[in-house]
Structure 1
Amino acid sequence: MDLKFISTFLCFVLLHSSKTFGENFTNQSDLETYIVHLESPDQLFSNSKDLLLWHQSFLPTNSNHSSRILHSYRHVFNGFAAMLSSDEVREMEKKRGFLSARPQRIFQLHTTHTPSFLGLHQNVGLWNASNSDEVREMEKKRGFLSARPQRIFQLHTTHTPSFLGLHQNVGLWNASNSGKGVIIGLFDTGIDPQHPSFNDNGMPKPPLKWKGTYEFNVKTYCNKKLIGARNYVYPDRFPLDIDGHGTHTSSTAAGNFVDGANFFGNANGTAVGIAPRAHVAMAMEKGIFVSCSAGNSGPGSGTVENGAPWILTVGASTTDRKIRAVVVLGNGAEYEGESAYQPTNFSRKLLPLVNGKYCDLLHPVDVKGKIVLCDTNRESYREQIAKTVKSAGGAGAILMNNKEGGSTTLAVYDVFSMTQVTYKDGQEIINYMKSTPTPVANISYRGTEIGDKHAPTVAYFSSRGPCLQSKGILKPDIIGPGVNILAAWPTQIEDETTSTSTSTFNIISGTSMSCPHLAGDETLEPADILAVGAGHVNPSRANDPGLIYDIHPEDYIPYLCGLNCSEDQISMIVKKKVHCTTSISQSELNYPSFSIPKKTSAQTYTRTVTNVGEAISTYTVKVSGLKGVEVTVNPKILKFTELNQKASYNVSVKSLDLTGVGLSHIGSGRGWWSIYKCEGKPQPLS
């Protein structure tokens, strides 16, 4: 089903070049973008110019280096992006230091918009040249590590601070100075520097550690809040956001306080990000904590993206705020739906109710002046449904979820009298229509309400685990608010029912919206365990975890070796030459969760925790929720006498029943270490 979300590409990876190269020896039509990975150089380069010259030495001598090199990389990995032919890559392979070269790939934005609407299909078309002759030549050159094609990522997409227990001048915000001194970097579609969410009222000066830059033509655009912005797609253009996604996510993570924020009167209040005193830089340089969206391909198993264990993978959940558009039936029953469009002049009379099925073709059904029930079992776009019903003379529409959509309802601004109800409520409405020859209904618009007792629940679109590339690592790690999130918008949205009303805030949904909540929270914080990981983010509890699971960069090398990655592939990740002398299974990584295949024989794994809570403390273990599985933890008590002291424990797991082994039959439970009468954070077991 279509959810009417953003269709755009992440600006930092869209590397198509519009330059004309004018070279004599290579047909320009044979060139495409490659990401080239190199070994770390023998000598340290004093500046980026010297490094660029070394990168250019891998290019053909007959090429215009300045036009071929698109980007030179030195922090996350050593290498460059360049326009190359297959023959040139094969020559490059011979050079010392070469690791690999791969052509660009397409990734989808992690808003909940249907990918096909973007016209993007992975591994087809222009981006499908993975066997380039040019790359193979480049791989032969000394110093080469790898080359891979650029990738276009899908955008995954404020009442939430109070929903998460964050309040100004008290509690965690007060203790942490609201994120003061923290720099939050985002890769996205740009930013609107003039939006009030990025005002620098109350902000300190940027930290001395900040070495970045901004590339706006107006110097006042960057201030003590917005301290940097760059365009990695077109370096000669400004990083202004013409789409909205980047502005929305940036303000969610670190937007300053804006009183009276609302979307045409809905969700009214003070808009503020999770870390309002943190600085924003619209690109990630180096950082310790990386938060990525899990993707919007749910609810099927094995759909999670960004599953690497060194990043926090975030799923999407609801909040307790609803923008209500209630269905009232002729029998007096009411079913709560949602819509960001809240007309004040909609008729209060009960109108005839008809079933329009999928509402793609309404010719056989007379809908004039009636409420139309629409099913979403097909990939019908919400916007198209509204247009179809409206053009056929319908007075309004009830959009009911299919079974997969479940209980997730979206507050979308349709500019038409339409509400979305849950699958269960939709079935009740159908039963009512069958019970009477003259069914009637109405839509009652009741505005914003706080206090949904069912929240938080996992959004149906939020991608589920396990990660198919590494099933021993439980992903996603956690869920956060990602449904109907109000945040800054770069352009004024017009209320089409009036000529004067506009809004500089917008309500959208997606794991891109939950991801910045966790970036602002900077923490590792129940439905299906493969949907929620450790559960819903709880900033206050996460600020005092008691025990943590330390992992150092070198710990990932035996893990990657155990995944049967090639040494060259691992070298690309860790930025140094690697030889796989030791390896571990995925479940042996010191990760705060377990994902273990069902076996009748006992499987034992070790975890090491570090005490960052009370210096003198004793923790006892509890395990619950696992059926048909025998779990033994040894020791059951961990005692600490000082801060940063480490202790290890073993978990032995034995399946008592192997019935239903597979993605659709996954057992889950939770274990946690508790101190005194305070329970610690749950450690998922699956």
Structure 2
Amino acid sequence: MPPPPAKWKGTCEFNKTQCNNKLIGARFIASPYQNSGYKLPMGPYDDDGHGTHTASTAAGMFVENASINSLANGTASGIAPYAHLAIYKVCSTFGCTIANVLAGMDQAVEDGVDVLSLSLSGPAASFYRDGIAIGAMAAIEKGIFVSCAGGNRGPNPQSASNGAPWILTVGASTMDRQLRSTVKLGSDVQLFGESADQAYDSIPTELPLIYPGPTAGICDNGSLAGIDVTRKVVVCDYGEVESITKGEIVKAAGGAGIIIANGMDEGATIFANSHVLPASHISYTDGEQVKLYINSSDIHSPNTTFIFNYTLLSTKPAPVLAAFSSRGPNKADVNILKPDIIGPGVNILAAWTTQVGSSSVSNNAYFNMISGTSMSTPHLSGVSALLKSLHPDWSPAMIKSAMMTTADIMDNNCSLITDETTKHADFFGVGSGHVNPAKADNPGLVYDIKPNDYLSYLCGLNYTDDQVSTVARRSVNCSAMGSTSPVNLNYPSIMVFLTDGNGYSIELNRTVTNVGPPNSTYTVQIDAPIDVTVNVRPNELIFSKVNESETFTVSVSSTNSSSGKYRQGYLTWVLSGCGDIMVRSPLMVAIDIQL
């Protein structure tokens, strides 16, 4: 690793020998709880593993023989393995105060970082009440890219956090790797689940199978009292308590194995945990099949067998939107489609601390497999670091646009990406699609936004001067600044509302900048939403040089025949003579919907 860049002003707030040319900064942002009488780990040490996991995902170096319980074995690396890392610990045992988060962001900006990765989220709020949005504004004004977790409150609608348009809001998806633990029912039916601990070669071929019922099936403390589970496989419903804890409770009651069955909300999203006994986490549909098998009058002695398939690659379908990934519409501003993009966030293997509390691996393990938008966010942060290195003249908005307009909308079955229900995911779940780093390096055209454009947009939201000034942290006068209608913010995705008030018709403008071939022509391709008419003027954009910009107008109209519905489609600019460059924007149309 080369030494830190000359601009770097950060430091290590612990033994300096623990920093090097990879870890060039580590700071602990003092917590107001530190004098509460509780003993807290002081200094920027990771006391639960979350920070280590996310940091290594973004920029960890190459490590051979990375695995969890000898599964998923291979060479690990972060997305940007040759990037420097600076760590800002803003959370404690008691959580993350917004004051500490904002202080940490400000310190990172002052120290000279290039990318801010925040695997943090909270309830959505107006931007002038959102500390992360305020801190991110200061960052992008300095040319610093900001990537934030969209949250883990899916599949509930309007659950997405970090909805400011100057932030890349990241959702989570699965990948094409499974630690498969197959559940065999009786003599023929096989159901595919996952488990991260498959070292149980000595288990009997068949084990009796029992479901304690919807109450006892939660498998929490005391719920199995009076139920004979001795040497049986117990079906436990997902939720209420950690899945690993359910296994510990089943084992303590004498059980020989556990099947974790998803509820309807979790659907097809399953996790590979390190269980204390033979286990498999299965989908909602498969869980219902298991319960039906157990309760069948034709089956007098239901039994099951675990078949451990270890690590499987190139599994299908992938990616799939994770059930927990928070969804739009964007509560902070419904005019901005969120989340922006999705990336790998389910069963992510990454570095872990040696000093941890309760976790799904034993102490002194160096890797762990966990899930969340906290895991997908550093994937996108790493991609942004690579793009910033390759294109140092690109603004944060240009980098964001490059990732969004080149994102994949198809899975490895050549079908539109699905969600936890196995149906096609909507834009409120996947945003622009799944990140494709290679394509993002050559996006052709980008939608740029200057910092002051965001302030004009805030004025267009009818924020007061004081409210806009709170976000900008300087005096802003909207009359002097001018205002931009939210629909006209030069965003890479488009969200419009058609109502009787606007005659079910609206016009908006977008400007694209050429970062591709100097002499190029792009032709518009419209995949109009159902019951919606979309026109683009002009329908062809001609560029003679790099960094040249062109503006186009989009007209969207409909009747009220789709009243109360969301309709979605795409607006794509295609480079003539080169089908490899397609600049795609999702177009979401809300017809007679009030939020």
Instruction: Sort the Cα spacing of 1:230 and 1:562 in 2 relative to 1 into closer, same or farther, 3 A.
Output: same
Name 1:426's counterpart in structure 2: 287
Deviations 1:514-553 (A, max 9, x none): 0010110005323211111110000000011110011001
Instruction: Sort the Cα spacing of 1:492 and 1:563 in 2 relative to 1 into closer, same or farther, 3 A.
Output: same
Equivalent residue in structure 1 for 2:346, among 483, 505, 512: 483
CA distance in 2, matches of 1:276, 1:382: 32
CA distance in 2, matches of 1:321, 1:672: 31
Is the partner of 1:592 in helix, strand or coil?
coil
Instruction: Sort the Cα spacing of 1:432 and 1:606 in 2 relative to 1 into closer, same or farther, 3 A.
Output: same
Is the partner of 1:490 in helix, strand or coil?
coil
Name 2:426's counterpart in structure 1: 528
Equivalent residue in structure 2 for 1:682, among 571, 574, 584: 584
Report the CA distance between 1:658 and its aligned residue.
4.6
Report the CA distance between 1:469 and its aligned residue.
1.7
Report the CA distance between 1:352 and its aligned residue.
1.5
CA distance in 2, matches of 1:604, 1:558: 19
After TM superposition, the structure 1 = structure 2 runs for residues 547-626 of structure 1, keeping only pairs within 5 Å, are 547-581=445-479, 582-599=482-499, 601-624=504-527, 626=529
CA distance in 2, matches of 1:498, 1:404: 26
Mapped contact 1:224–1:279 kept (Cα < 8 A): yes
Name 1:264's counterpart in structure 2: 69
Deviations 1:86-127 (A, max 9, x none): xxxxxxxxxxxxxxxxxxxxxxxxxxxxxxxxxxxxxxxxxx
Whether 1:220 and 2:17 are equivalent positions in the alignment is yes
The residue identity in structure 2 corresponding to 1:491 is T
Whether 1:356 and 2:212 are equivalent positions in the alignment is yes
Equivalent residue in structure 1 for 2:3, among 193, 196, 205: 205
The residue identity in structure 2 corresponding to 1:314 is V
After TM superposition, the structure 1 = structure 2 runs for residues 44-193 of structure 1, keeping only pairs within 5 Å, are none
CA distance in 1, matches of 2:545, 2:29: 47
Instruction: Sort the Cα spacing of 1:547 and 1:213 in 2 relative to 1 into closer, same or farther, 3 A.
Output: same
Is the partner of 1:491 in helix, strand or coil?
coil
Name 1:440's counterpart in structure 2: 303
CA distance in 2, matches of 1:331, 1:654: 57
The residue identity in structure 2 corresponding to 1:673 is W
Deviations 1:464-514 (A, max 9, x none): 011112000011100011111111111167999999x95211111110110
Mapped contact 2:275–2:360 kept (Cα < 8 A): no
Mapped contact 2:164–2:332 kept (Cα < 8 A): no
Mapped contact 2:47–2:355 kept (Cα < 8 A): no
CA distance in 1, matches of 2:335, 2:370: 33
Equivalent residue in structure 2 for 1:390, among 231, 251, 254: 251
Report the CA distance between 1:584 and its aligned residue.
2.7
Report the CA distance between 1:684 and its aligned residue.
0.8
CA distance in 2, matches of 1:660, 1:491: 56
Instruction: Sort the Cα spacing of 1:666 and 1:601 in 2 relative to 1 into closer, same or farther, 3 A.
Output: closer
The residue identity in structure 2 corresponding to 1:247 is T
Whether 1:669 and 2:569 are equivalent positions in the alignment is yes
The residue identity in structure 1 corresponding to 2:234 is V
Instruction: Sort the Cα spacing of 1:574 and 1:496 in 2 relative to 1 into closer, same or farther, 3 A.
Output: closer
Is the partner of 1:545 in helix, strand or coil?
coil
Instruction: Sort the Cα spacing of 1:498 and 1:450 in 2 relative to 1 into closer, same or farther, 3 A.
Output: closer
**Paired residues, number:** 478
Instruction: Sort the Cα spacing of 1:400 and 1:498 in 2 relative to 1 into closer, same or farther, 3 A.
Output: closer
Report the CA distance between 1:679 and its aligned residue.
4.1
Name 2:45's counterpart in structure 1: 240
Equivalent residue in structure 1 for 2:277, among 396, 406, 416: 416
Mapped contact 2:523–2:574 kept (Cα < 8 A): yes
Is the partner of 1:515 in helix, strand or coil?
helix
Name 1:459's counterpart in structure 2: 322
Is the partner of 2:235 in helix, strand or coil?
strand
Mapped contact 2:195–2:280 kept (Cα < 8 A): yes
The residue identity in structure 2 corresponding to 1:683 is S
Name 1:344's counterpart in structure 2: 200
Is the partner of 2:497 in helix, strand or coil?
coil
The residue identity in structure 2 corresponding to 1:655 is S
CA distance in 2, matches of 1:660, 1:385: 46
The residue identity in structure 2 corresponding to 1:279 is H
Name 2:232's counterpart in structure 1: 370
Name 1:291's counterpart in structure 2: 147
Report the CA distance between 1:350 and its aligned residue.
1.5
Name 2:422's counterpart in structure 1: none
CA distance in 2, matches of 1:362, 1:598: 54
Mapped contact 2:200–2:278 kept (Cα < 8 A): no
Name 1:39's counterpart in structure 2: none
Deviations 1:282-303 (A, max 9, x none): 1352342110000001001100
Instruction: Sort the Cα spacing of 1:265 and 1:495 in 2 relative to 1 into closer, same or farther, 3 A.
Output: farther
The residue identity in structure 1 corresponding to 2:382 is G
Report the CA distance between 1:349 and its aligned residue.
1.3
Name 2:129's counterpart in structure 1: none
Name 1:87's counterpart in structure 2: none
Whether 1:519 and 2:389 are equivalent positions in the alignment is no
Moved more, 669-678 or 380-389: 380-389
CA distance in 2, matches of 1:608, 1:468: 26
Name 1:79's counterpart in structure 2: none
Deviations 1:262-321 (A, max 9, x none): 112011111100000000011352342110000001001100000000010000111111
Q: Which has the larger radius of gyration?
A: 1
Name 1:647's counterpart in structure 2: 550
The residue identity in structure 1 corresponding to 2:483 is S
Is the partner of 2:249 in helix, strand or coil?
helix
Moved more, 408-417 or 640-649: 408-417
Q: TM-score, normalised by structure 1?
A: 0.67
Whether 1:249 and 2:57 are equivalent positions in the alignment is no
CA distance in 1, matches of 2:560, 2:273: 46
Is the partner of 2:179 in helix, strand or coil?
strand
Q: TM-score, normalised by structure 2?
A: 0.77
Instruction: Sort the Cα spacing of 1:221 and 1:400 in 2 relative to 1 into closer, same or farther, 3 A.
Output: same
Report the CA distance between 1:437 and its aligned residue.
2.4
Is the partner of 2:354 in helix, strand or coil?
strand
Report the CA distance between 1:339 and its aligned residue.
1.0
Whether 1:317 and 2:317 are equivalent positions in the alignment is no
The residue identity in structure 2 corresponding to 1:583 is S
CA distance in 2, matches of 1:347, 1:323: 18
Moved more, 280-289 or 378-387: 378-387
Equivalent residue in structure 2 for 1:503, among 365, 368, 376: 365
Q: Alignment RMSD, CA only?
A: 2.3
For structure 2, list consecutive stretches of 5 or more residues without a partner in the other structure.
35-40, 89-104, 115-143, 385-398, 404-416, 418-424, 589-595
Mapped contact 2:361–2:368 kept (Cα < 8 A): no
CA distance in 2, matches of 1:416, 1:344: 8
CA distance in 2, matches of 1:343, 1:648: 60
Instruction: Sort the Cα spacing of 1:229 and 1:436 in 2 relative to 1 into closer, same or farther, 3 A.
Output: same
CA distance in 2, matches of 1:354, 1:312: 46
Report the CA distance between 1:338 and its aligned residue.
0.7
The residue identity in structure 2 corresponding to 1:456 is P
CA distance in 2, matches of 1:369, 1:380: 22
The residue identity in structure 1 corresponding to 2:197 is Y
Mapped contact 2:340–2:431 kept (Cα < 8 A): yes
Deviations 1:308-356 (A, max 9, x none): 0001000011111111111011141111101112123342412111112
Deviations 1:352-404 (A, max 9, x none): 1111232432245422111122223x634323322332222111111111111
Equivalent residue in structure 2 for 1:472, among 324, 329, 335: 335
